[in-house]
Amino acid sequence: MTTSSANDPYYSRQSAQWEAAPRIESTGSDAPGPLTTDEVWKYAQDGFLFIPQLFSLDDVAEMLAEGERLTKDWPDGRPGIIREPDANIVRSIFRLHHHSEKFQQVFSDPRLVTRAQQLLGSDVYIHQSRINYKPAMNGREFFWHSDFETWHVEDGMPRMRALSVSIFLTESHEFNGPLMVIPGSHETYIRCAGKTPENHYEQSLRKQEYGVPTQDALQQLLVGREIVAPKGTAGAVVFFDCNLMHGSSGNLSPDPRVNLFTVYNSVDNGLQTPFCDRPPRPEYLAERTVRAVTCSPN
């Protein structure tokens, strides 16, 4: 083992039994920004913040069009596009901030960046970005997970100083597999059982089996709490902490569910050697260069 669990407060996948550990970093900050004190407080309590109509339907239409363009123009052999196992349907496209000027601009939008800076209390850079398509009638589920567990173990992200932004590009409703979260779960770190298999990401992007909680871990997180699924029209945005336990059901409805994601990490929290004895995941999943995001003039 290359990593000593004694030096790593967030070690995971090192024994046959899961374990709950407290979070070290505080959530939220008192840095200035567009969010009210109440909103920052709510984010700190729940681990997420839902903002309806942060983007207009015109903004959303442009993002959807850019996703289609990227799918169409994606060069053969370039990594970062994930297709459904059984069909030639695109499920995700990664590293949008690298491959698309349009998405670079979206991720530099002050509506996102100033809020991310305020919640993380520092300048930020993009750790990962992607568009997720959950197609109508057969969109697949994402099992429960904490992003941070994977980012820490497999990418080497040292601390819980990152957050995800999910922009709804279609309505997200009860029946098209909306994001489900456990409010408050970001305060507890679940050390998962098992080991990290070789090239785990190739499998885990389709169906994650390692780094996921057991039923009793989930039940412990749910003591005194309830699962919540933020729902809303296209243009709504969810900011959520890197350690928030979340997942989403399959989509049997005739409406696709499309979300644009970006992960802002604090510039003080750049990646180190992964906290497992595997090489780091490819850069389309985890940027290894810290470049602070500058707000677009807009």
Task: Count CB neighbours of 234 within 10 A.
Answer: 21
Indicate the DSSP class of residue 155.
I
E strand or H helix at 216? helix 215-221
E strand or H helix at 200? helix 200-204
Our finding on whether 209 is near its own copies (CB under 8 A) is no
Alpha helices in 13-146 (DSSP H): 37-46, 57-73, 96-99, 101-107, 110-120
**How many residues at the interface with its own copies, by CB under 8 A?**
21
182 vs 293 by CB, closer to its own copies: 182
In whole angstroms, what is the distance from residue 80 CA to residue 59 CA?
24
Our finding on whether 41 is near its own copies (CB under 8 A) is no
x/- string (CB under 8 A) for its own copies, residues 252-271?
xxx-----------------
Q: How far is the CB of 46 from its own copies (least distance, A)?
A: 17
The correct pick among 64, 229, 267, 290 for binding its own copies (CB under 8 A) is 229
- Please enumerate in sequence order all residues whose Cβ is within 8 A of that of 97, keeping only pairs 6 or more positions apart, or say none: 103, 104, 107, 126, 129, 262
End-to-end CA distance of the chain: give it in Å, rounded. Answer: 48
x/- string (CB under 8 A) for its own copies, residues 126-145?
----------xx---x-xx-
Cα atoms in the Cβ-side hemisphere of radius 13 Å centred on 210: 21
Judge contact between 253 and 136, C-beta under 8 A. Answer: yes
Q: Which of residues 48-87 bind its own copies (CB under 8 A)?
A: none
Q: How far is the CB of 142 from its own copies (least distance, A)?
A: 9
Our finding on whether 205 is near its own copies (CB under 8 A) is no
Our finding on whether 208 is near its own copies (CB under 8 A) is no
Our finding on whether 249 is near its own copies (CB under 8 A) is yes
Q: Which of residues 159-178 bind its own copies (CB under 8 A)?
A: 174-175, 177
Question: In one letter, which amino acid is 256?
Answer: P
Q: Which stretch binds its own copies (CB under 8 A): 69-77, 95-103, 218-226, 288-296?
A: 218-226
Q: Which stretch binds its own copies (CB under 8 A): 108-116, 198-206, 246-254, 266-274?
A: 246-254
Binding footprint of its own copies on the chain (CB under 8 A): 136-137, 141, 143-144, 174-175, 177, 180, 215, 218-219, 222, 227, 229, 247, 249-250, 252-254
